[in-house]
Chains A and B, each alone.
Chain A
Amino acid sequence: MNIALTHLQRLEAESIHIFREVAAAFAKPVMLYSVGKDSSVLMHLAMKAFYPAKPPFPFLHVDTTWKFREMIAFRDQMAQKLGFDLLVHVNEDGVRDNINPFVHGSNTHTHVMKTVALRQALDKYGFDAAFGGARRDEEKSRAKERIFSFRNAQHVWDPKNQRPEMWKIFNTRIASGESIRVFPLSNWTELDIWQYILQEEIPIVPLYFAKERPVVERDGMLILRDDERMQLRPGETVENRLVRFRTLGCYPLTGAIESDADTLEAIVGEMLTARTSERQGRLIDRDEAGSMEKKKREGYF
């Protein structure tokens, strides 16, 4: 047999190790499920880590109520197919206040419907460890974060004072009310993710594949008009264009790219020649320099 592990085998083993460590050391873990491609990989790894058992923790989706409809349908389908315990949390205060990314802007919307909602959900269930799908190659403050990332009782990340993280020996000790965010995909790159999806035949939301979709050009981005809540401004028109998404989030904040890549191979091929990063399609990262770090310190994933 071939002794040397392949690159993907190493990454997979590292992630599985992390999953098991959390299951063994924490009383009440949860996996944050955001329905995107990284979440799909995370879910696949969780199924592998505990096979033949099911993952010994629930999956939590923080629903901002502005996700693409296809994401919600995919989420429910996966929960049924794999039989995991799916929790959905919505910030009802935000719903009552009619928080709307078109009206209140991406910053307020993300803070209320995502960051605050997440903190509400973690407090409500008393989770002491939460898995997220973030990767270090995504963004430069993420590149600085530990795999086991400590949060105080207010869910605050203190980037200047992170615990040393030596070898694969993780410090899982916390006081009551404190928690750890855990990132099993820390060392994966975007290319690794796609390669693994291809190799393992992992289902992903169809929005990643090119298709004719009704889009509006706004502020230099192509926004998919997913429902009637998106009102057209003067001069704007809805056009059917061949587009796909590199990342998925709230539809008003996620730009599509023009592409005819309708297979995984074509997506990877396109990515290999891409000249912009995947987060380029995310409106929330462009608000200001260091915006990701700021959000993370407030409790964003």
Chain B
Amino acid sequence: MRHIMAKSLAPTDGVRDYLAAQEKKSLLRFLTCGSVDDGKSTLIGRLLSDTKQIFEDQLAALERDSRKHGTTGDDIDFALLVDGLEAEREQGITIDVAYRFFATPKRKFIVADTPGHEQYTRNMATGASTADLAIVLIDARQGVLRQTRRHSIIASLLGIRHVVLAVNKIDLVGFDKAVFERIIEDYRQFSHKLGFETIVPIPMSARYGDNVTSRSDKTDWYSGPTLIEHLETVSVDEAAVELPFRFPVQYVNRPNLDFRGFAGTIASGSVSQGDEVVVAKSGKSSRVKRIVAHGGDLNQAVAGQAITLVLDDEVEVSRGNMLVSPAARPQVADQFAANIVWFDEHALLPGRSYILRTETDQTSATVTDLKYRVNVNDFAHEAAKSLEMNEVGICNLSTRAPIAFDTFAENRTTGAFILIDRITNATVGAGMILHSLRRAENIHWQSLDVGKRGRADMKNQRSAVFWFTGLSGSGKSTIANLFEKKLFATGRHTYILDGDNVRHGLNRDLGFTDADRVENIRRVAEVARLMADAGLIVIVSFISPFSAERRMARELMADGEFVEVFVDTPFEECARRDPKGLYARALNGEIKNFTGVDSPYEAPENPEIHLKTLGKSAEEMVEALELWLNERDIAEDQYDNGGGI
């Protein structure tokens, strides 16, 4: 079989020269954004067409599609080039971001065509997160719209510093200079707070090509560059290589006992063989012994390169940690403030636990304080209890374990994170870190000499939190009450936290919205944890309808201490019993947000104890609970005596 290798080929050729020239071109990543129907996809189609990136077979397909789905009469509908999904072509809208590639003799481009509809804002953010420049399109007839502002804010938050204000469809306002200037004024009015370094307004018609790649003779009053001239020359250098060295460890490469390499992509700065580096989270220092690459070791590597580092000694480093410059270290903290853009249809709720993911690190996090929501129209800071889909807010976050980070303003790679829903695994939000919170640095855990174990031993018991969950009227309080009486009778030290009682005191400021329900549970879980720490057997009797909060409560307690008890009584039976007359009122619409009626109840999937109450007495239920407690205590004693190991 013939084996072709490039080496065997003639070295001199026009093609090689051409390719060498290609390699020297810089790359610009930009996005098109703005409101729906402002002509984003049409503009990209125009750019691709004018820079000869459309092949004959693609053009033929485009002509076919234009006749079928087009919105431009007999003309070719360039939007159909980028609206690649069937649903998009049928509905004539852009749903998700499309990435297209083109080049001119001066530069290479990757363009993200992003959707204008508010409901697809998360896809616009996806396109913006990797872009250096934003083309904000405005329909000359419409002027600055709500989505123009929203997209500009998101672009600014995500670190974009260069904007082209494309005043499109200028042909439809008779190439009127006054319209153009009024729009520029409107845009500058609101965007001066957004920190853009350059805003370049260009009057254009994407459909007919005016001022896109060639200068229009219909706008002789305009003396600035055409779009393509500007894109070819604008300087967006971030100079990540000038920043302090940051190397998030992605993967530990350990093929055998003799090799232990830390693989990752340099986020900023550079590193040379022999350099001192510090492990961000432990502060331990070491030296770079080798920079390993496939073609042979490197002497130096810079931001953007994916390398493998071998250190001088066996310091402890794993995925999620960072190797950094000893002179300029990142912050390591478990509390910080951040801008958050929310993507999910389920609102962000303070107190709820999410997965926080940086480029290589992962921990759980809760928003401890939603400081305010940003109104996208006037930038007003508004008080808010939750952040709805597509909203932007400033939050304080608390993570379960400290993470190493820089502020997003200092470093776009090490200052960003995403939030993931624990149950659906959906990416629900994106965060840009503003600063660490001083209280995280200054408040350390006070270590106490008497421990939980000692306090529980004195009571001759083991701490436990029995967490009763179930619908209103399911029998939680009755069973809890009887259970406590039985425990009390056997000399145990107990306490019941009852939903209704706590709402009269500690939680009397809370209502029944989703946000308040989450906070309600968070406070009770913290109180239960303190009581368990005091050595008590705590019985929590709360509807606690959301599995996310029950999980959060579980994670607060020590292993084996949290006992989820599902008091399982069917809705119909609860409504029939209706001990407090609440179901009748809720079903009449007199009470809002009533669990099981117009607010959901998420049944536990794997409770430690599942009590099916129908046809059973409270005594039978309590026997099951006592049995469980005794078995656990016996098992733990055996473990302590070595029997379990």
Contact = CB atoms under 8 A, between A and B. Distances in A.
A77 B418 CA distance: 43
B110 A209 contact: no
A50 to B, nearest CB: 6
B82 A140 contact: yes
Interface string A1-30: 101111111101110110011011000000
Contacts of B145: none
A48 B294 contact: yes
Given A171-B357, A187-B99, A265-B16, A206 B302 contact: no
A162 B96 contact: yes
**Considering residues A8, A74, A159, which has the most beta carbons from chain B within 10 angstroms of its beta carbon?**
A159
Contacts of A77: 1
Interface in B1-15: 1-7, 9-10, 13-15
B427 interface: yes
Nearest to A290: B86
A166 B37 CA distance: 25
A88 interface: no
Interface stretch (B18-26, B321-329, B523-531): B18-26
Contact of B82 (A70, A143, A159): A143
Interface in B286-306: 292-294, 299-300, 302, 304-306
Contacts of B7: 201
Interface in B327-380: 343, 355, 357-360
Interface stretch (A60-68, A99-107, A109-117, A273-281): A273-281
**Considering residues B68, B412, B426, which has the most beta carbons from chain A within 10 angstroms of its beta carbon?**
B426
Given A52-B292, A191-B22, A74 B1 contact: yes
B565 interface: no
A70 B1 contact: yes
A52 B27 contact: no
Interface string A246-285: 0000000000000000011110110010111101100000
Nearest to B6: A201
Nearest to B52: A275
Nearest to B422: A173
B294 A143 contact: no
B306 A136 contact: no
A202 B4 CA distance: 9
B61 interface: yes
Contacts of A142: 84
A144 B84 contact: yes
A269 B123 CA distance: 37
Contacts of A50: 253, 263
A77 B1 CA distance: 10
B305 A144 contact: no
A165 B16 CA distance: 36
Contacts of B98: 140, 143-144
Nearest to A291: B86
Contacts of B299: 1
A111 B18 CA distance: 41
A268 B99 CA distance: 23
A45 B207 CA distance: 41
A125 interface: no
B156 interface: no
A198 interface: yes
Contact of A159 (B16, B85, B426): B85
A233 interface: no
B129 A17 contact: no
A218 B465 CA distance: 75
Contact of A168 (B1, B19, B101, B265): B265
Interface string B113-142: 000000000110110011000000000000
B552 interface: no
A274 B270 CA distance: 41
A144 B88 CA distance: 11
B129 A9 contact: no
A13 B413 contact: no
B417 interface: yes
Contacts of B23: 6-8, 195
A206 B84 contact: no
Given A7-B23, A140-B81, A201-B7, A289 B61 contact: yes
Contact of B85 (A70, A144, A174, A266): A144
A203 B359 contact: no
A160 interface: yes
A73 B1 CA distance: 8
Interface string B79-121: 0011111110100000111111100000010100000000000
Interface in B417-441: 417-418, 420, 425-427, 430
A27 B254 CA distance: 17
Contacts of A264: 4, 6, 9
A153 B304 CA distance: 35
B65 interface: yes
A169 B357 contact: yes
Interface string A132-174: 0000110111111010000000000001101111111101011
Contacts of A199: 6
A51 B82 contact: no
Given A17-B250, A141-B84, A189-B101, A289 B64 contact: yes
B308 interface: yes
Contacts of B270: 3
Interface string B228-245: 000000000000010000
B358 to A, nearest CB: 7
A146 B125 CA distance: 13
Nearest to B96: A144
B426 A163 contact: yes
12 contacts: A3-B302, A12-B306, A13-B304, A49-B306, A54-B255, A159-B85, A163-B426, A171-B357, A195-B23, A206-B4, A265-B10, A293-B84
Interface of B: 1-7, 9-10, 13-16, 18-19, 22-27, 55-58, 61, 64-65, 68, 81-87, 89, 95-101, 108, 110, 122-123, 125-126, 129-130, 241, 250-251, 253-255, 259, 261, 263-265, 270, 292-294, 299-300, 302, 304-306, 308, 319, 343, 355, 357-360, 412-413, 416-418, 420, 425-427, 430
| 6 A-B pairs with the lowest CB-CB distances in the bound complex, closest first | A140-B84, A53-B255, A16-B306, A277-B55, A265-B15, A48-B294
